[in-house]
Amino acid sequence: MDLTPEERDELLAAWALDALDREDTRRIERVLAADPELAAQGQELRNVVALLGESVAVTPPPELRSDLLDRAASTGPATIEPTDPLSLLETQIEALHEVLVQLDDEGWTRPVDPYPWSVHGLVAHLLVIERYTRVQLGLDPPGRTEGPTGHLELGVDEIEARQAGSPIDTRTAWRDAATATVAALRAGHGPSPDGTVDFHGFALTVGNLAIVRAFEIWTHADDIRRAVERQVVDPAPADLRAMSRLSVRSLPVVLPLVAPEADFGGARVVLTGAGGGTFDLGEATNRDVLVVADVIDYCRFAARRMSREQLAPVIEGDRETADHLFAAARVLAI
């Protein structure tokens, strides 16, 4: 039944006061759902009603606060489960492949910031790294990656040579190698799940290595999108959760590399937005600093694709510790 404007206004005031029975509440809420302007008026009235509560405000007993926080510690909002590492890697491989199949001849020649390579050269680099990864995982015999082993120095001759050849061949070789790696790991080849792999001097579990690879492939997919003037793509929340969680949890491990003298007590890192979360690092009772940042921005910052100024984190507490954490966040960016 339609309401007259007067009925609507009267129901709205009673609704704001929560003074309607269920039937009238449903009637007015149906109207509000279809009328944003009226809904805003209703919200204004509710703001006034909320002020009525200030006239009876009473400080709660002190134990209520500690009881509440104790109870909150044992429960909490549902967080998004992270994508499993191999599915994450597979998703990012396919996402990059999707970008590559849409490139025209000119697109393959575009320079890619911040590298000395074209798009073609960057994909050749990914192929070289994929082969290196396979060797480290024990999926291929050693010997195919001789020479410098730094991430950007690996296979420079091959990258150079491939840039003179067919980009389609390079794309196919990279994707075949990358999907073969995922398939082999799914089949249980390579190290045991508890085993670690040396990846440029870092000892990583197979799962963490897959996440690191996915992080790099996502970053390069965005590099290529930027190079050909396309919009960058935010990963799905569950994918972000997997990547950001590994990055943040690794901070205490890599902190000594950037601040060997620092006396790290503890920190809380809060990554906001879908796929984010709250991470307590070090000793929870000895927290030096609270850092809050957007989860996607944090990932781009960790990948060195966003500056600290652009990240604009909220920092409460010891700023020096925060500085060390931010420096540590970028150590794994390769």
Partner 1 sequence: MTQACAWDRAIASRLLAGDDTALAAAYDQYGSLVHGIATHLIGPERANDVTQEVFISLWERPERFDPDRGALRTFLAVLARRRAIDELRSSSRREAREHRSRNQVPETVPNVEEAALAVIAAERIRVALERLPAEQCQAIELAYFEGLTFKEVARATGSPEGTTKSRLRLGLGRLARDLADQADRGEPTWI
Nearer to partner 1, 67 or 81 (CB): 67
Query: Buried (b) or exposed (e) across 117-152, using 16+ Cβ within 10 A?
Result: bbbbbbbbbbbbbbbbbbebbebbeeeebeeeeebe
Q: Taking the complex as a whole, how short is the minimal distance between the CB of residue 56 and partner 1, in angstroms?
A: 4
Q: Taking the complex as a whole, how short is the minimal distance between the CB of residue 40 and partner 1, in angstroms?
A: 5
Q: Taking the complex as a whole, how short is the minimal distance between the CB of residue 258 and partner 1, in angstroms?
A: 25
Nearer to partner 1, 68 or 168 (CB): 68
Nearer to partner 1, 36 or 114 (CB): 36
Tokens of 35: 């009328």
Strand partners, 224: none
Site for partner 1, rule CB under 8 A: 9-14, 16-21, 39-40, 43-62, 64-65, 67-69, 71-73, 75-77, 79, 268, 270-273, 276-278, 290, 292, 295, 314
Residue 171 CA to residue 98 CA, distance in Å, equals 11
Q: Taking the complex as a whole, how short is the minimal distance between the CB of residue 301 and partner 1, in angstroms?
A: 16
Alpha helices, DSSP H only, in the chain? Answer: 5-16, 22-34, 36-54, 62-73, 85-101, 105-109, 119-136, 156-163, 167-186, 206-227, 237-249, 251-258, 295-302, 308-311, 319-329
Going by the DSSP 8-state scheme, the letter that residue 79 receives in this structure is P
Coil vs helix vs strand at 103: coil
Sign of CA dihedral 301, 130, 181, 199: negative
Coil vs helix vs strand at 139: coil
Contact by Cβ (8 Å): 259, 133? no
Nearer to partner 1, 73 or 187 (CB): 73
Nearer to partner 1, 15 or 264 (CB): 15
Question: ∠ at Cα 279 (275, 282), nearest 5°?
Answer: 160
Nearer to partner 1, 3 or 152 (CB): 3
Q: Taking the complex as a whole, how short is the minimal distance between the CB of residue 207 and partner 1, in angstroms?
A: 22
Radius of gyration for the chain, computed over Cα atoms and rounded to the nearest angstrom: 27
Q: Taking the complex as a whole, how short is the minimal distance between the CB of residue 74 and partner 1, in angstroms?
A: 11
Tokens 């109870």 belong to 71
Nearer to partner 1, 53 or 143 (CB): 53
Q: Taking the complex as a whole, how short is the minimal distance between the CB of residue 223 and partner 1, in angstroms?
A: 28
